[in-house]
Amino acid sequence: MKNKFLIYTLAAVAVLSFGSMESKAAALSLGSSAGIASALEAYEANTINADKKIMEYLDTAATNKNLCIAKVNDYVNVRKGPSEEEEIVGKLYDKSAGQVLEEVDGWYKISSGSISEGYVKKEYVVVGEEAQELAKEVGTRFATVITETLRVREDATTESSILGLVPEGEELVVKEEVEGWVKVSIEEGEGWVSIDYVMLHTEYVQAESKEEEAARLAKEEAARKAANAAAAKKSGSGSQVVGNSAGSSSGQAVANFASRFVGNPYVYGGTSLTNGADCSGFVMSVYANFGVSLPHSSSALRNVGYGVSLSQAQPGDIICYSGHVGIYVGNNTIVHASTAATGIKYTSPVTYRQVLAVRRIF
C-alpha cells in the first residue's frame, strides 16, 4: 500500500475514554509571528480538526475484550459496509486501535476515532488476547508535568540527587512504574519522579476519516506555505522559493546557522544562542532567525510544521525526544542544547534516544 501517513506524525492530541467517550483536544501550530499566524489562524477558522486522533484507555486497554489493533504494512481501509465495493470512509493505520462492535461475514464492524461505525476485513486486525498483548507494545505511556518545575531524581526517593529539571506541560515517556514513582526519560538519562507532580496517560493512535485526512494534508500545506512566506519576508525577497521534495535550501540554512553555536552553554529556561539556551529555547531561537515563531516547549514542538519519518529526515528538521529536541544537520547527526554539563553540541547517531517525532518546517 502506498504510504500516505507516517506514524511519527502527532500533530494534535485528543484523549478519549472508551467508558465515557469524554474527549479533550489540543491543537498546536507554528507560533504567532506575523507571516505564519495569519495564514494558520485563517485556515484553522475554516477547517475541522485535521489530525490523527489519539486515545487513552486509562489502563483498560490490556483487559478490553472488544479491543482491536491493526496489523498491516501501512493502513487498512475502513469501509461503509462489509464489502470491498462499499465506500471508503477512512483509514486504520498500522498499530492503530479501535473497538469491535460486531463480526459480519469476515468483517469486523468497528469504532475508532471519529469513525463511529465502519468495517475492516478481519485478516487485517488482531483481537482478543493477541490485541491485549499488542496493546502493551504499541501504546506509549506518558507523564505530563503538572508542577512549575519538576525535579527528576536518580532514585525513587526525595533524598536522591537531582538528575535534571523539567518545566510544566512537558510530556515524558514513562519507562517504569513503582508505588508512588515513575521512571522517565530525559536528556540527562533515566530518572524518577513522584506521581504527585505528573499526570499519567497511555496514548494509542486511532483511525483517520477521509475528511480528517484531507484537512490534515491541507493544514500541512498551509504550514509549509506560511513558513516559506515568513522566510522570504525575513530575507527581503518576496519571490524566494524554498522547500521541495528533494530537500530544502532553507532547511540546510537552518542547520548551518544552528551549527554556529556549538560550544555555547546550556541554560535551563534560556533562549540566548550565545549566552545560553535550553533545548527548546535553542530550536525556537534558531528558527526565529528565519522569521518562524515556534513554542518554547519540547512537547509542543512535536506538533509544529508537518511530520515525516525518520528515514526521510533532512537538514533543518526538528527531531523530538522525550523531554528534548534537536535540529537535524545531516549525516545521522543533530545539533542541540544538550545538558548543563555539555552545552550546545553535536550528537550522533540520531537514535541515541527513542525518537518520538520528526517535524519539518520548510
Return the active site residues.
279, 324, 336
Contacts 24+ apart (CB under 8 A), 134-137: 134/69, 134/71, 134/95, 135/57, 135/61, 135/62, 135/64, 135/67, 135/69, 135/97, 135/204, 136/62
The DSSP bridge pattern shows strands 75-79 and 88-93 to be antiparallel
CA distance 175 to 142: 9
CA distance 292 to 40: 13
212: its cell numbers: 480528517
Residue 69 CB partners (closer than 8 Å, separation 6+): 95, 96, 97, 98, 125, 126, 131, 134, 135, 138
CA distance 124 to 12: 26
Residue 66 CB partners (closer than 8 Å, separation 6+): 99, 100, 101
Q: What are phi and psi of 14, to 5 degrees?
A: -130, 115
Which stretches of 30-170 are assigned E, i.e. beta strand? 54-55, 67-70, 75-79, 88-93, 97-104, 107-112, 115-121, 125-127, 140-145, 149-153, 162-167
Supply the DSSP string of 181-248, one letter for each residue.
EEEEEETTEEEEEEGGGEEEEEEEE--EEHHHHHHHHHHHHHHHHHHHHHHHHHHT-TT-----TT--
3-state SS, residue 43: helix
Q: Which residues pair with 103 in a beta bridge?
A: 108
